[in-house]
A and B are shown apart, each in its own frame.
Chain A
Amino acid sequence: MDYSTMTSGDVVSQRTHTLDTEAVSRYVEAVGDESGNRLDVAGPELAPPMAVAALSLTGVVNDLAIPGGTVHAGQELEFKRSVAVGETLACRATLEHNSVRGEWRFMVVRLEVDDSRGRRVMEGKSTIMLPG
């Protein structure tokens, strides 16, 4: 992928994912986060908010085809609405900044996640450093 041609505003990933029981279980097992079980709410089981963040980054990692050695330098997240297990989420990633400093390419990618009713559940920004 020729990253030098990418400019601010380019949509780098747009995917729909269902955060089903299996996906949440895989995430919870991987990070050992059981705080979702502590949410004292009536109704459906809720996913850990960072599972939504991880899901939103799946498209960035794969659709940007980031090379080995890429470093995650910073992350901003804003959780706006809890997400029930089984919810289908629309994840969109847009390039906000792209520059080269020394041996590294710095990219800032804006993340937006909406639920199946079009309500924003999370947004944020990832700063990544690509080698070469």
Chain B
Amino acid sequence: MHFANLREGDALPEIVKAVSQEQIERYATASGDHNPIHVDREFASGSQFGGTIAHGMLIAASISEMMSVAFEANWATGGRLKIRFKAPVYSGETVTAFGRIKKIETHAEICTVQCAVGVRKANGEAAVSGDATVVFPVE
């Protein structure tokens, strides 16, 4: 995606991830979040979820990856994300991060791109929804 060609309504490049229990455990190690709802099958089976679920930030990472692919370094230096976690993602599920440009504004050589973003499960259920905004200088 070239910034000069951005248009309102454009879709962002989707990111598809299969979420395994092994991956959830790797994320627990990487993040230091060993909440048993993620890593203890016995505890999780007795919880309101009925099984282990992925960390919200593991799922949200796919949105950030999508934004980094679409907007390159601008995401790391001028990205804003506001999301709600709508449904748990269980180990073994596949999720897709998606987004669409809602609005593009340019003022004083600064471009602001607002996007609707989310993560959906294979059955179409929303796992995450929200907004992402990128602000960067116009070259």
Contact = CB atoms under 8 A, between A and B. Distances in A.
B57 interface: yes
Contacts of A79: 75-80
Nearest to A27: B30
A58 B73 contact: no
B37 A38 contact: no
B65 to A, nearest CB: 5
B64 A61 contact: no
B84 interface: yes
A32 interface: yes
B68 A32 contact: no
Given A50-B60, A62-B32, A33 B65 contact: yes
B48 to A, nearest CB: 8
The A contact surface, by secondary structure, is mixed
A2 interface: no
A75 B57 contact: yes
Most buried by B among A35, A57, A72, A76: A35
Contacts of A61: 31-33, 35
A31 B58 contact: yes
Contact of A49 (B48, B56, B75): B75
A29 B121 CA distance: 21
A100 interface: no
Main secondary structure on B side of the interface with A: helix
Interface residues of A, number: 43
A31 B27 contact: yes
Contacts of A54: 30-31, 57, 61
B2 interface: no
Nearest to B84: A74
Interface in B16-61: 17, 23, 26-27, 29-33, 35-37, 40, 43, 47-48, 55-58, 60-61
Nearest to A66: B35
B76 A30 contact: no
Interface string A71-91: 111111111111100000000
A75 B83 contact: yes
Contacts of B64: 33, 35, 48-50, 53
B104 interface: no
A72 B61 contact: no
Contacts of A57: 31, 33, 57
Contacts of B33: 57-58, 61
Given A54-B57, A61-B31, 4 more contacts: A30-B29, A33-B65, A54-B30, A81-B77
